[in-house]
Amino acid sequence: MSRGYIVPIGGAEEKFRDPAILRRFLKVCGGPDARVVVIPTASRLVETGPRYVELFKEFGAANAVSLPFEERSDCAREDWLTEVRDATGVFITGGNQLRLSTTIGGTAVATLLRHRNHHEELHVGGTSAGASILSEHMIAYGEEGPTPRCDMVALAPGFGLTQEFIVDQHFQQRDRLGRLLTALAFNPRPIGIGLDEDTAAFISPEDRLEVVGSGAITVIDPSEMEFSSMDSARRHDPVSVIGIRLHILTEGCTFDLHSREATHPAANLSS
């Protein structure tokens, strides 16, 4: 009995020409034996769930099903809970992460996802909003820009699959360095993971992160932060953050969430 993979994706992952991320996720979930549950709750588009179901079946999954939890009462449906209990992987789509937290947070579905990921090797991935919701704390919304500011970001509880990191997505495309730094300046315990579009962090049960995709992942390690002015900053003020480490990781690079060591692809091949 061990933890499953956690796979946050930065959004806009390639689905047709070279769907490397989705194929890799399916492989982790068991390949031809995979049974994937898609949760499209974050999206307002009715076609979102069926589109991912079609893709996973096309890639060779034994079974894929969409569970469109629209109301909190849906989260008590025993037939849908059975689907989650039988799944080898759960994929959470993009949209609005607050729809995920307000609809599913604190329900039997959220409890089951966390328990099965921690103890029954259920692999859980999410793209965009579905990536943000995976950790204990999520970025609910915020402003763009490279400089952290006192009121730049709003945090909310996520599904709590991990306490080790906090995620931001569409990172380079929407200039979100400042809001991730702001989130870490409040409390520099977790690692900050900024995911570019079409880029995923495949985080193993041993908390080893591997980059897959065409973009980059910005990893912010605040463990040696010497100073943050968050406690004295006024509304709209820029915030000082001193002593953090920043890594830019592309495909094949890894990062150990425990040792806080980053490794490039050539070093991984030689080891």
Catalytic residues: 128, 170, 197
CA distance 59 to 269: 28
Do 84 and 67 form a contact (C-beta atoms < 8 A)? yes
What tokens were used for 135? 């950790």
CA-based Rg of the chain, rounded to a whole angstrom?
Answer: 18
CA triplet 107, 126, 220: central angle to 5 degrees?
Answer: 110
Q: How far apart are CA 253 and CA 219, in angstroms?
A: 11
| Of 227, 270, 263, nearest in space to 247 by CA | 263
Residue 192 contacts residue 165 (beta carbons within 8 Å): yes
156-192 in b/e form (b: 16+ CB < 10 A) is bebbbbbebbbbbbbbbeeebbbbbbbbbbbebebbb
Dihedral sign computed on CA atoms, order 140, 52, 171, 168: positive
Closest listed residue to residue 205, CA positions, set 168, 258, 252: 258
